[in-house]
Structures are given as C-alpha cells and as structure tokens.
Amino acid sequence: MDLYKNLAESVEITYRNKKPVVIGHSNSLLLVGMGRSAFVFKIKDTNKVIKVFFPELSHIAREEACVYKVVQHIDSYPSLYECGQNYIVIDYVKGYTFFDCLTHGIPISEKEIRAVDFALSSARKNGLNPSDIHLRNIFKTQDGEIKIIDVARFRQKKKCDQWDDLKNAFYHFYIKPFFPKKLPPFLLNGIAFLYKNVLRKQAVTE
C-alpha cells in the first residue's frame, strides 16, 4: 500500500490560468492522460495506472473505487488494485478510445456496440446507473475487447441518455456506406459541445 501512496504523494499539481498542471512526479510514473477530474500515470514496468485526482476533487477517488468494486467480476471494466485519499490504481488499458477510432479511421463494429451494451446492462443488474458514457471512456483494446473507464458517475440517480444517443448515431449514420469513417477532432469536439450545451439542455426543458 505504501508504494502506491508514495507514488500518489509524489505528484505535484499547481494551477496556471485556473487549470491544473503537473509540475513534478516520481520517475516511476509516466503521464499518459488527463481528464476533467484527474491526471493518469502509467506505473513503469507494470500494467497498472494510478489516477491522481485534482486536490478539490479528491473525494471522487473513493466514489469511483466504490463503483469499480461492484463491477470487478465484469470483464469490460478494469480491475481495481487500491484506493487512497486522492487516487485509485487500476489496469492500464492499451488500445484506442472510440474517439481515437473515429479520428484515425479505425472501424467500430456492431459487435463492439453490442459489447458496450452488455457491459452497461451488466452494471445495471448490479444496482448501478451507468452515466456520462462518451467516446473517450470506451476503449477498443488491441485484443479486440471493450473496456469502459471513468465510472465515477455510475451511482447517480438521474437518467442519462448519452449512450443511447451515441448508439442511435451509430445506427442512423455511422454504418451507412456513404458516411465517412474518419472525422477530424475539431468536428467531434464541436458536436460534443453542441450536444452538451444545446441539445441536452433543450431536452431537459421540454
């Protein structure tokens, strides 16, 4: 336990223009990602990552760990190895997010969509409410498996239609022969912004 705790404590975070920035960390860590609430480091010479949450969002570590404990028996979610005050340690998922697939032209199959459906359905059967499912937290691994990460919101009560909307877009647009299988990041980010700030707000008020 001290190993992971010491690694988490080695991460120094400051703020520049109100945005969190890493200014130092152990040589055993390699920064591989940043989300809305945490930095993610691969622990060198292992197949694990440590997710270190921003100081004001450290409470999310325990919330996310609670969800991972519930889905440990479901193959489509990473294994949880440890949880601390401001960090969790999980499997390193090697592959491409669905966002990466769309920007690199890597095909997404109907079988993979069904695999996501199965993973989310399995979570629901275990009393969870899968929420905030988006292109960047669904991975297609190098072995062709589906992995879902960033599960901190899986215990919220509010109904979330994001996955249903993504799935509808897949069947109504993506699988059509004329639809391009490679899209520029700025277009996907623009669609996400429109969806979050306009379409979802309209749906709530209707």
How far CA 205 is from CA of 23, 113, 164, 192, in Å, comes to: 43, 30, 19, 19
Q: Where along the chain do its domains lie?
A: 2-91, 95-205
State how far the alpha carbon of 140 is from the alpha carbons of 98, 175, 179, in Å.
Answer: 7, 17, 21
pLDDT in tens, 52-88: 999 999 999 999 999 999 999 999 999 999 999 999 9
From the candidates 132, 143, 150, 161, give the one annotated as an active-site residue: 132
For residue range 137-147, what is the model confidence (pLDDT) as tens digits?
Answer: 999 998 889 99
Tens digits of per-residue pLDDT, 81-139? 999 999 999 999 999 999 999 999 999 999 999 999 999 999 999 999 999 999 999 99
Domain 2-91, classified CATH 3.30.200.20, yes or no = yes
pLDDT of amino acid 201: 54
For the stretch 168-196, pLDDT in tens is 999 999 999 999 999 999 999 999 999 88
Dihedral angle of Cα 174, 177, 182, 184, to the nearest 10 degrees:
-70
What pLDDT sits at residue 205? 42
The question of whether 132 is a catalytic residue gets the answer yes
Contact between 118 and 130 under an 8 Å Cβ cutoff? The reply is no
Residue type, 79: S
Q: At CA 121, angle to CA 200 and CA 197, rounded to 5?
A: 10
Residue 149 C-beta-side C-alpha neighbours within 13 Å: 29
Rounded Cα distance between 177 and 16, Å, is: 46
Reply yes or no on whether the pLDDT at 202 is more than 60.
Answer: no
Cα R_g (the chain), whole angstroms: 18
